[in-house]
Structure 1
Amino acid sequence: MTRATSTTAAPSRVPDPTAAFWIAKGVSTALGEAVSDYAIRAMAPEIAVIAGFVIFVVALWLQVSRRRYSPVAYWFAVAAIGVFGTMAADVTHVVLGMPYAVSAPLYALVLAAVFLLWRRTEGTLSVHEVTTTRRELFYWAAVVATFAMGTALGDLAAVGLGLGYLPGIAAFAVLILVPALGYRFLGWNAVFSFWFAYVVTRPLGASVADWLGKPVAEGGVGVGSGWVSLVLTIVMIALVAGMVVARGRARRPDPLLA
């Protein structure tokens, strides 16, 4: 099978997993959960899902058409996937009646299939080598699967297993330390550690959003998904604006060296 030629000179289309990346990833996952919950209550669920899908397609097209990493395009795509991925996971549970204990392993199999095909086709799953359109499409297919799987895992822990939102936050916060510590102290594979953490950020962020937005009677704080969506949107915009400024400064030549 032919593999895409790696070109070191080609620009990366996705960001490096820095501290700012993980903060933004956590906020975006919580944002996706909150916006999805608000949308399906503010309008007919069918319309909300269709609108979420349209925004997802537009955002992904804008990102892929950039052909290089752009903070605005990238995080818009991530946020759109967060919303639509949450809706997709909820539809399989509410509309199709599929238990979380079934949907979570199902999405895990989908993710595994994406990784297997990506690896066999490109020879690497490293985010540092997402420099072609085909690799980027594999990347986004994996991201969609992680969002759907993470949503199902979060709901399974909080609702299916009766753990509750706040204990769920604690559990996933501890779980996300596993790949970080494994990579730092045990020499775990960097690619495996990245995707392990990437999956867990979804149920962690979703649990935070649910805890804040759900009514007190359901184990939440009762702030409301609308207010949580608004605050997280403002935070996300501020984070992306900071990335844009930092990226601009990094590209600006040092006058002392010019």
Structure 2
Amino acid sequence: MAYETSETAAIPAAGGSVAPASGRRLAWNKVPEVTVYFWIIKVLCTTVGETAADLMNEKAGMGLTGVSVLMSALLAVALVVQFRTTAYRAAVYWPAVALISVVGTLISDNLTDNMGVPLETTTTVFAIAFAIVFMVWYRRERTLSIHSIDTTSREAYYWLAVLSTFALGTAAGDLVAERIDLGHWLSAVLFGLAIAAVGLAHFQLGLDAVWSFWTAYVLTRPLGASIGDYLSQPTGDGGVGLGEVVTSALFLTVILGLVVYLAVTGRDVTEQVARRAA
């Protein structure tokens, strides 16, 4: 499912271009085109985030605190590299997404498991944080277009939004799973249908592109988690029984293959970049 966000998300300035409110102006957009590759890798990164966090927490004996410190440090390094690039690079962008998926999961898990905060509360808090990020982003930049992530401030808002979606998706997904108890496979089908409904609403009913994109982005987190749990959990718990190691390795291999393919072909480079590069 691909969402075109360049038109409905931006408010043109004089001369027809979108004027950045603040930050260092870059020559290129810093995020990929939203194609089928984007959604596949996003779901795979989400799945890896779920299984990798469980693997290090339970099998490696690091505990939630230890895993959180390690993953946060790795994410900080990945984001420093991402911010220092001057254009979208698949080999830089997607590792940051994979790491932020783990950290977003751990934020929710720490609040729920270590601090005993109810899932209803964490879901509400993350939803409010999600809304605040977008309100401030739009107020400061006058655009929410992911085709104009070309200043440092816009990039900062973008990654804050991504982090909030993973935390919100984790809490909301766990809340739905706990309340409805559908099982891993049926949960995956439920969230997949919800994403399909968002896509239908966008393409057939004219639902705003920005909110269609970010709603689907939030929903891919519980979708990926359900798929990861279904594959990794024992058969007695409703899973396939592959285990966290095999599941994580399998999806990491697919992610690596797709990222290499995109890095070589440039199939996910935005049209804006392609025109300027021509």
Name the TM-score, length of structure 2 as normaliser.
Answer: 0.85
The residue correspondences of 1:60-71 to structure 2 (distance < 5 A) are 60-71=79-90
Q: Where do 5+ consecutive residues of structure 2 fail to align? A: 1-18, 270-277
The aligned residue for residue 61 of structure 2 is 43
Paired residues of 1:157 and 1:164 also in contact (CA < 8 A): no
Per mean C-alpha deviation after superposition, the further-off stretch among 157-166 and 222-231 is 157-166
The aligned residue for residue 193 of structure 1 is 212
The residue correspondences of 1:87-236 to structure 2 (distance < 5 A) are 87-236=106-255
The aligned residue for residue 57 of structure 1 is 76
State the secondary structure of the residue aligned to 2:29.
Answer: coil
Q: Where do 5+ consecutive residues of structure 1 fail to align? A: 251-257
- Shift of the alpha carbon at 1:53? 0.8
Name the TM-score, length of structure 1 as normaliser.
Answer: 0.91
Q: 2 CA distance for matches of 1:191 and 1:6?
A: 22
The residue correspondences of 1:233-244 to structure 2 (distance < 5 A) are 233-244=252-263
* Closer/same/farther in 2, CA of residues 231 and 126 from structure 1, 3 Å limit: same
Q: 1:45-96: per-residue Cα shift (whole Å, max 9, x none)?
A: 1221111111111111111111210001100100000111111111111001
Q: 1:133-185: per-residue Cα shift (whole Å, max 9, x none)?
A: 10000000000000011111221122243222111101100000122111111
Q: 2 CA distance for matches of 1:111 and 1:249?
A: 26
Please state if 1:20 is matched with 2:37.
yes
Q: 1 CA distance for matches of 2:182 and 2:22?
A: 47
Q: 2 CA distance for matches of 1:104 and 1:6?
A: 31
Q: 2 CA distance for matches of 1:9 and 1:153?
A: 36
Paired residues of 2:32 and 2:268 also in contact (CA < 8 A): no
- Shift of the alpha carbon at 1:8? 9.6
The aligned residue for residue 254 of structure 1 is none
Paired residues of 2:137 and 2:144 also in contact (CA < 8 A): yes
Q: 2 CA distance for matches of 1:248 and 1:97?
A: 44
- Shift of the alpha carbon at 1:6? 10
Q: % of aligned pairs identical?
A: 38
Aligned length: 250
Q: 2 CA distance for matches of 1:22 and 1:207?
A: 16
Q: 2 CA distance for matches of 1:15 and 1:162?
A: 35
Q: 2 CA distance for matches of 1:108 and 1:221?
A: 32
Which structure has the higher relative contact order (CA within 8 Å, separation 6+)?
Answer: 2
Amino acid in structure 2 at the alignment position of 1:143? V
Which is richer in helix? Answer: 1
Q: 1 CA distance for matches of 2:75 and 2:135?
A: 24
Please state if 1:11 is matched with 2:28.
yes
Q: 1 CA distance for matches of 2:160 and 2:172?
A: 18
